[in-house]
C-alpha cells in the first residue's frame, strides 16, 4: 500500500506530513496497519506569496492522530486518518523595551479534519505495483477558532483527492528497497483552489526487517482557480493557493513483529503561504501482517 | 496503558508541545514631544492654546511636564501651559520641551503674527507606503481633516497596491511602526488596488506619525509609511 496523507490546514501552514505503513502495497484481506502519532510544528517564519521567507509571531500546532489501513479484501483497503485532538497556540508577544505583554497568547483545542478513503489494487507483479485511491477530506475541524478566527484546526471545506500510485521493490547488495510515486488531483470546495499533488518515496529495510529508513518528498501545486481571497472575504482568509516542495525522513523500528515506533521529520524546501519550519511526528504502530 | 498513565502522558505531551511561549519584539523608538495643533499664523492681540503630547520610547503617550518658550517674546509670549499671546507683527519660534530620563527632548514650530484675519486653511499630510516584508505593498496616501468635523480622511492614491494573499491584513495609525500596541486600528484591508478612502472618527491629523499595515494572524508588520508634513 502506498502513503496515506493528510494535509493539516493550520494557519498559513498546511504543512503536509505523511503517515505510512512500511509495506509498500495494499494489505491482504483482514490485515491492517494502525498507528497513533503525536505531530508538532512550531513556526516563527513562513514562505510568502512570492516565495520569500518572512518572520511571524510564533505559533505551535500539535495533534494526536490515529491512522488506520485495513484490507477489506486482497484488492481493496480502507484508510482513515483521524486527528482526534488538535491544539494550536500563539505565543505572548512582549515588548523588548518595557517587558510588558503587547499581545497576549492564546490556545485553541479542537478535533482536526478527518480523512477517509479507499485504495484499489490495479496491478501487482514482482516488479511493479499499481493502485489508485480516493480520499475524502471531511471538514470536522474548526475553521474559525480563537479570538481572531485564525486558530484553525481545519479548512472548513470538503475535498476529494484522487490518486494513482506506482511502486517498485528492488534490492541493493541484498538489502531490500522500494520506491514509489504518486500523482494526485485534489478537488477542493468553498472557492479554494484545486491542487495537483506529486510524491516520491524510497525506503530500505535493515537489521533483519527491524528498521525501515524512508525518505520522502511531496509537491503541491495550486491550480489557482479558486476565487477565495482576502478581497472577497473581508480580509480574512486562510491560506488559499498554498504550494510547497517538502522533504522528509522517517525511521521506524519494529520492537516486535507487530509493534513498533516511528519518528518522522519534514520541512518545506520552498513554498508559498506555508510555514518555513520543520514538523515532527512520533508514533507507535501495530502492523498485523 | 491504564487511564492514569495515559493521562500523565497526555499532560506531559501538552506541557512540552502545547504551551504558550514568549516572543520578544524590539519596539523601541525615539521619544518625541509633538505639538498636536500647530498653526502658521495668528493675529495681533489674539491668544492661542497649544497642545502637546509626549510619546515615550515605545511611542506611548506619557503624562509629563512640558515647558514652553518663544524665541521672540516681543512678537509672542507663551506661558507654561502653552497659551500664546500675540503681541506684535513678526515671526517667532515656539518650543515645547520635555526632560526625560536625563535628556532634553524638544520640538518647535514657526509662527507668524500678522495684522488682519488669519487664513485657517486645513492641514494636509502625506506619505509613501513601502513594503517591509515579502508581500507586495506600495502606494501614496494623504491625510486631511474633514471640514467642520473632528474626523480625519485617509486617501490612498491610484498607485496603491497590496497583496491579497495575506490573511488578516489591517491598517493602523501609530506612533510606533514596530507594533500595534497603542495604535489606532482603522480596520481590515478589503481593497487591494487603486484609490480609496477611510474616514477616521475623532482623530487629529497630528495624533499619529506612521501609517502601518499589519498582518494580525502573523503578528508582523507588512509595511507602511511615515506621515509627513
pLDDT digits (tens, 9 = 90+) for B4-20: 565 666 665 655 566 78
Determine whether the interchain pair A92/B58 forms a contact, defined as Cβ–Cβ distance below 8 Å.
Answer: no
Task: Give CA torsion, residues B199, B204, B210, B215, to 10 deg.
Answer: -40
- Rounded percentage of chain A residues whose pLDDT exceeds 90: 68
Which residue from A minimizes the CA distance to B181? A102
Q: What is the pLDDT of residue B7?
A: 62
Give me the CATH code for the B39-114 domain, please: 2.60.40.1080
Q: What is the pLDDT of residue B14?
A: 59
* Average pLDDT of the residues of chain A: 86
Rounded Cα–Cα distance for residues B140 and A206 (Å):
63
Contacts of B218 in chain A (CB under 8 A): 12, 46, 54, 56-57
Rounded Cα–Cα distance for residues B40 and B33 (Å):
19
pLDDT over 80 at A141, yes or no: yes
Rounded Cα–Cα distance for residues A196 and A3 (Å):
16
Q: What is the pLDDT of residue B217?
A: 85
pLDDT over 60 at B137, yes or no: yes
Asked whether B123 and B208 are in contact (CB, 8 A), the reply is no
pTM of the model: 0.84
More confident residue, B144 or A21: B144
Q: Please, which pLDDT band fits residue A212 given cuts at 50, 70 and 90?
A: very high
Rounded Cα–Cα distance for residues B157 and B136 (Å):
16
What would the mean pLDDT of B108-123 be, rounded to a whole number?
84
Inform me whether the C-beta atom of residue B100 falls under 8 Å from chain A C-beta atoms.
no
pLDDT over 80 at A175, yes or no: yes
Tabulate helix, strand, coil % of chain B (nearest 5). 5, 45, 45
Determine whether the interchain pair A231/B217 forms a contact, defined as Cβ–Cβ distance below 8 Å.
Answer: no
* Closest partner CB to A54 (pick from B24, B133, B181): B133
Q: What is the pLDDT of residue B31?
A: 96
Q: What is the pLDDT of residue A234?
A: 45
Q: What is the pLDDT of residue B13?
A: 61
Determine whether the interchain pair A89/B18 forms a contact, defined as Cβ–Cβ distance below 8 Å.
Answer: yes
- Give the position of cell 501552514: A13
Rounded Cα–Cα distance for residues B132 and A112 (Å):
34
A260-286 b/e with 16+ CB inside 10 Å = b?
A: bebebebbbeebbbbbbbbbbbebebe
Residue B5: count other Cβ atoms within 10 Å of its Cβ: 9
Instruction: Kindly report the backbone phi and psi dihedral angles of residue A220, in degrees, each rounded to the nearest multiple of 5, phi listed first.
Output: -120, 130
Contacts of B191 in chain A (CB under 8 A): 231
Please calculate the CA angle B127-B129-B134 and round it to the nearest 5 degrees. 165
CA distance B42 to chain A (A): 41
What would the mean pLDDT of A105-112 be, rounded to a whole number?
93
Strands A129-138 vs A159-172: parallel, antiparallel or unpaired: antiparallel
Q: Quick one: which of A229, A94, A281, A245 has its CA closest to B179?
A: A94
Instruction: Kindly report the backbone phi and psi dihedral angles of residue A202, in degrees, each rounded to the nearest multiple of 5, phi listed first.
Output: -140, 145
Options 2.40.160.40, 3.30.70.240, 2.40.50.180, 3.40.1410.10; which CATH number does A16-288 get? 2.40.160.40
Residue B205 class from Cβ within 10 Å (0-12 exposed, 13-18 middle, 19+ buried)?
A: buried
Determine whether the interchain pair B23/A60 forms a contact, defined as Cβ–Cβ distance below 8 Å.
Answer: no
- Residue A206: strand pairing partners: A211
A28-66 b/e with 16+ CB inside 10 Å = b?
A: eeebbbbbbbbbbbbbbebbbbeeeebbbbbbbbbbbbb
Architecture per CATH, domain B3-25+122-226, reads as Sandwich (2.60)
Q: Quick one: which of A109, A89, A106, A9 has its CA closest to A42?
A: A89
Q: Quick one: which of A45, A79, A46, A43 has its CA closest to A62?
A: A43
Residue B127, CB-side half-sphere exposure with 13 Å CA sphere: 19
Which residue from A minimizes the CA distance to B183? A102
Asked whether A19 and A81 are in contact (CB, 8 A), the reply is yes
Q: Please, which pLDDT band fits residue B118 given cuts at 50, 70 and 90?
A: confident
Contacts of A46 in chain B (CB under 8 A): 218
Tell me how far the alpha carbon of residue A264 is from its chain's centroid.
Answer: 11
Q: What is the pLDDT of residue B8?
A: 62
Rounded Cα–Cα distance for residues A237 and B98 (Å):
45
* Average pLDDT of the residues of chain B: 91
Helix (H, G, I), strand (E, B), or coil: what is residue B4? helix
Q: What is the pLDDT of residue B18?
A: 63
Residue A119: count other Cβ atoms within 10 Å of its Cβ: 24
Asked whether B136 and B162 are in contact (CB, 8 A), the reply is yes
Residue B15 DSSP class: H
Asked whether B54 and B62 are in contact (CB, 8 A), the reply is yes
For chain B, the residue count is 229
Asked whether A36 and A287 are in contact (CB, 8 A), the reply is no
Q: What is the pLDDT of residue A16?
A: 37
Rounded Cα–Cα distance for residues A238 and B167 (Å):
6
pLDDT over 90 at A258, yes or no: yes
Determine whether the interchain pair A235/B136 forms a contact, defined as Cβ–Cβ distance below 8 Å.
Answer: no
Rounded Cα–Cα distance for residues B126 and B171 (Å):
16
pLDDT over 60 at B150, yes or no: yes
Asked whether A80 and A114 are in contact (CB, 8 A), the reply is yes
Determine whether the interchain pair B14/A239 forms a contact, defined as Cβ–Cβ distance below 8 Å.
Answer: no
Rounded Cα–Cα distance for residues B207 and B173 (Å):
9
Tell me how far the alpha carbon of residue B34 is from its chain's centroid.
Answer: 10
Task: Give CA torsion, residues B13, A106, A54, B170, to 10 deg.
Answer: 160
Asked whether B82 and B97 are in contact (CB, 8 A), the reply is no
* Closest partner CB to A94 (pick from B24, B164, B170): B24
Amino acid at each position: 500500500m502506498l502513503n496515506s496523507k493528510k494535509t493539516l490546514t493550520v494557519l498559513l501552514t498546511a504543512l503536509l506530513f505523511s503517515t505510512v505503513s512500511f509495506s509498500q502495497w495494499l494489505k491482504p484481506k483482514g490485515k491492517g496497519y494502525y498507528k497513533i502519532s503525536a505531530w508538532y510544528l512550531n513556526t516563527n517564519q513562513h514562505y510568502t506569496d512570492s516565495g520569500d521567507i518572512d518572520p511571524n509571531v510564533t505559533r505551535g500546532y500539535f495533534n494526536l492522530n490515529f491512522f488506520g489501513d485495513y484490507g477489506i479484501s486482497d484488492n481493496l483497503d480502507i484508510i482513515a486518518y483521524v486527528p482526534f485532538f488538535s491544539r494550536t497556540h500563539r505565543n505572548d508577544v512582549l515588548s523588548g523595551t518595557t517587558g510588558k505583554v503587547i499581545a497576549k497568547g492564546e490556545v485553541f483545542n479542537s478535533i482536526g479534519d478527518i480523512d477517509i478513503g479507499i485504495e484499489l489494487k490495479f496491478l501487482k507483479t514482482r516488479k511493479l505495483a499499481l493502485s489508485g485511491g480516493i480520499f475524502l477530506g471531511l471538514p470536522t475541524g474548526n475553521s474559525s477558532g480563537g479570538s481572531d478566527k485564525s486558530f484553525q484546526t481545519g479548512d472548513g471545506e470538503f475535498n476529494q483527492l484522487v490518486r494513482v500510485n506506482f511502486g517498485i521493490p528492488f534490492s541493493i547488495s541484498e538489502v531490500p528497497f522500494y520506491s514509489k510515486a504518486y500523482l494526485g488531483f485534489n478537488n477542493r470546495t468553498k472557492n479554494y483552489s484545486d491542487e495537483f499533488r506529486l510524491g516520491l518515496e524510497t525506503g530500505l529495510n535493515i537489521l533483519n526487517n527491524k528498521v525501515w529508513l524512508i525518505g520522502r518528498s511531496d509537491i503541491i501545486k495550486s491550480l489557482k482557480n479558486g476565487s477565495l481571497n482576502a478581497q472577497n472575504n473581508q480580509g480574512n482568509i486562510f491560506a488559499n493557493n498554498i504550494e510547497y516542495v517538502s522533504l522528509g525522513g522517517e525511521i521506524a523500528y519494529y520492537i516486535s513483529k507487530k509493534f513498533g515506533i516511528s519518528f518522522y521529520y519534514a520541512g518545506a524546501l520552498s513554498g508559498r503561504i506555508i510555514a518555513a519550519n520543520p514538523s515532527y511526528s512520533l508514533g507507535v504502530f501495530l502492523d498485523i501482517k | 496503558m491504564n487511564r492514569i498513565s495515559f493521562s500523565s502522558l497526555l499532560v506531559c505531551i501538552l506541557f512540552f508541545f502545547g504551551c504558550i511561549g514568549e516572543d520578544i519584539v524590539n519596539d523601541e523608538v525615539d521619544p518625541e514631544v509633538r505639538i498636536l495643533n500647530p498653526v502658521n499664523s495668528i493675529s495681533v492681540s489674539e491668544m492661542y492654546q497649544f497642545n502637546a503630547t509626549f510619546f515615550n520610547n515605545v511611542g506611548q503617550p506619557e503624562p509629563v511636564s512640558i515647558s514652553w518658550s518663544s524665541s521672540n517674546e516681543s512678537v509672542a509670549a507663551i506661558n507654561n501651559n502653552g497659551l500664546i499671546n500675540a503681541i506684535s507683527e513678526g515671526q517667532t519660534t515656539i518650543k515645547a520641551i520635555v526632560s526625560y530620563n536625563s535628556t532634553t527632548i524638544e520640538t518647535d514650530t514657526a509662527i507668524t503674527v500678522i495684522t488682519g484675519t488669519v487664513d485657517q486653511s486645513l492641514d494636509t499630510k502625506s506619505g509613501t507606503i513601502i513594503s517591509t516584508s515579502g508581500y507586495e505593498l506600495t502606494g501614496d496616501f494623504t491625510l486631511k481633516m474633514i471640514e467642520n468635523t473632528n474626523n480625519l480622511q485617509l486617501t490612498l492614491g491610484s498607485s496603491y497596491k497590496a497583496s491579497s494573499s495575506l490573511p488578516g491584513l489591517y491598517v493602523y495609525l501609530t506612533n510606533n511602526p514596530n507594533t500595534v500596541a497603542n495604535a489606532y486600528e482603522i480596520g481590515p484591508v478589503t481593497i487591494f488596488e487603486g484609490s480609496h478612502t477611510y474616514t477616521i472618527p475623532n482623530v487629529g491629523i497630528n495624533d499619529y506619525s506612521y501609517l502601518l499595515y499589519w498582518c494580525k494572524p502573523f503578528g508582523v508588520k507588512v509595511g507602511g509609511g511615515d506621515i509627513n508634513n
